[in-house]
Chains A and B, each alone.
Chain A
Amino acid sequence: MSTIKEIQDEIIEEFELFDDWSDKYAYIIELGKKLEPLDDKYKTESNIIKGCQSRVWLQPDFKDGLLYFYTDSDAIIVKGLIYLLVRVYSGQALADIASEPPYFIEKIGMQQHLSPTRANGLASMMKQMKLYAIALQAQNK
């Protein structure tokens, strides 16, 4: 499995192919359509991360020392961005998830979506992923 850093650098390279916003968003929308939809049974109150504009659901799964994430959103661009976050962080070690920041977001020009405004659940979701990793680390000590 590639490291968090390696995957982020891959993504940055992929996005360098795009010249303008239209192409970037077209690609992100494509990724959003690729994201495996989350089973309705995981769309619970405890899994929902509410934003002002869109909703995000996050289902963690801790297996054999690695933390996996299953997510969904009702907005497609957010889905595309969470597809990328899942690609980076899912199936990685707890210590890495807890410590590695998602620097690729800024490098691909999408930092406004991770800003801690109420507008979307993305920043909160990122925070929640980290919190799961930290909590599990504490549990396993």
Chain B
Amino acid sequence: MTDLDAQVRALRTSVGLNRREHVAVVRVDGPDAFALLDLTSPAPLLLREGQMRHTLLLNTEACPLADLYVCSDEDGYVVLADGLSEAALVAQLEGRRAARLPAAQVAIHPQSETHELIGLDGPYAWELVSAWLGPSVLGMPYLTLLRVDDVLAFRAGKTGEFGYDFLVPRGRGALERLTALGAAFDLMPVDLPALDVCALENGHFSIRTVRDSALARPLTPLELQLQWRVAYQRDFVGAEALRARRAAGAAVRATWFTSAVTLAPGQDLTLDGDTCGQVLACTTSPTLGGAVGIALLSTRLAHPGLALVAPTDAGPVTLATRTAPLIRNRSLFVDPHRHSYRTRETETYPSLVLA
């Protein structure tokens, strides 16, 4: 088992710990904080205190720059951005303010100097979190945040398992405390590639899929099946371009697939000998034992249930388009009211692999 295999296995069956250094965190407050973030987010931000909205940061061409959570805290907002550095996130927000709300009274506070973001993911992440912060976190609904002492806990996650992020003050020993408590859960440090494998297995969007794409085609929420993060009638940066793209119709759509071997991004895909799309992303799936990926297919063919062929230099490779998620998440069967990691061997869980 490779290191990556072990990390994915931990994310799927116990708990993985990740230092979310790929996520920029800023606080936004002031009388016009809502106005600025409302202009930034393609999704409506009617949030009660303690709620989060999963949205996107788009450029003027409606292409994603970052995977965004906007979180309503008691004193303002916390923005978590996967895909941008802290400086780049601040620049984006300041740029939007200068261009559209020059008189706005808004303060943007980068967090990295005083805080760090730590993540826990896995079917027993809730139990470790409860051991660390107390039972109040057990009742957190998905996409909510809760302050426990000096820790700000966010319930989110992009692996399909229980997932939490924690904004903790630096130098207070949070990581050490979690590591010590995590021994009882076989807690494993996991890297970003492992999280991205799990995201792909579960049909979750990763900003690195488009940022690292070998394809020259610009992709918007329309092609990426992310329209649920957008409200077309809203005014936001990129709205005009997105509405124009929608009016023209999407020529391609992201569609998940499985194959026996990993395919390179940009690899052509054919159906009955005719080119019908290209690979957008593909990776080995330790869970499934083969490869999982996303193809950009002609919209007419962008459906599960098709057998395509990738004419690679090593020979033709067959792949099957599938309905995401591609695995059966253990977290769907783990009940915080009844189950525990220490008694997991006494439980019978269905296979992670869908029939």
Q: Do A and B come from one complex?
A: no
Binding site for A on B (CB under 8 A): none
Binding site for B on A (CB under 8 A): none
